[in-house]
Amino acid sequence: MKVLRNISIELPSDLQALDQLLSQFNKIYQEFIPERDWLQCRLALAEAFTNGVRHAHKDLSPEITIRVEVLLSKNKIEMRIWDRGSAFDLRSFIEETARRHDGWLNSGRGIPLLNKIADRLEYYRIGNQHNCLLIVKEFDN
């Protein structure tokens, strides 16, 4: 995969940092990206960061950062959101949410939304303290 543009940014565990993240994200936009795909990626990135702040880092100091990496190639975008929260079983959560709810959720809609947007969605733990949410969106050309 030839990377055309990328960003790597450390952000405080604070929802106010979302504007800074989206501003940086907008800088990698390219004309060849279908508008629908770009908007879905912005939504996915915002949701993933918000989940990191609200859930993974809810009991941690705002000084403990969330790292975001985005790689743009000609046919896809890869977004990695690194947190330091507790381990989380993404697949089990998606399956359980699908079984328990009929679409009228007060909360818990973020992960199912990411699952619909992403062509590949993974969450894995590295070592004792780092988790990575990987979101891959292939472009409709």
pLDDT in tens, 43-94: 999 999 999 999 999 999 989 999 999 999 999 999 999 999 988 777 777 7
Ramachandran bin of 104, using left for φ above 0, alpha for ψ from -120 to 50, beta for the remaining angles? beta
All residues at 6 or more sequence positions from 16 whose CB lies less than 8 Å from its CB, including other chains: none
Which amino acid is it at 96?
Answer: E
pTM beyond 0.85:
yes
SS3 state at 43: helix
CA 32/CA 49 separation, integer angstroms: 25
CA 77/CA 75 separation, integer angstroms: 7
Angle formed by the axes of helices 18-26 and 35-51, nearest 10°: 150
Say whether domain 5-138 belongs to CATH 2.60.40.1660: no
Q: Which one of 20-24, 60-64, 110-114, 126-130 scores highest in mean pLDDT?
A: 20-24
> Given this model, what pLDDT does residue 30 score?
97
Locate the DSSP E strands across 73-141.
Answer: 76-83, 120-126, 130-138
Instruction: Kindly give the pairing relationship between strand 130-138 and strand 76-83.
Output: antiparallel
Start-end of H helices in 1-141 = 18-26, 35-51, 90-100, 110-117
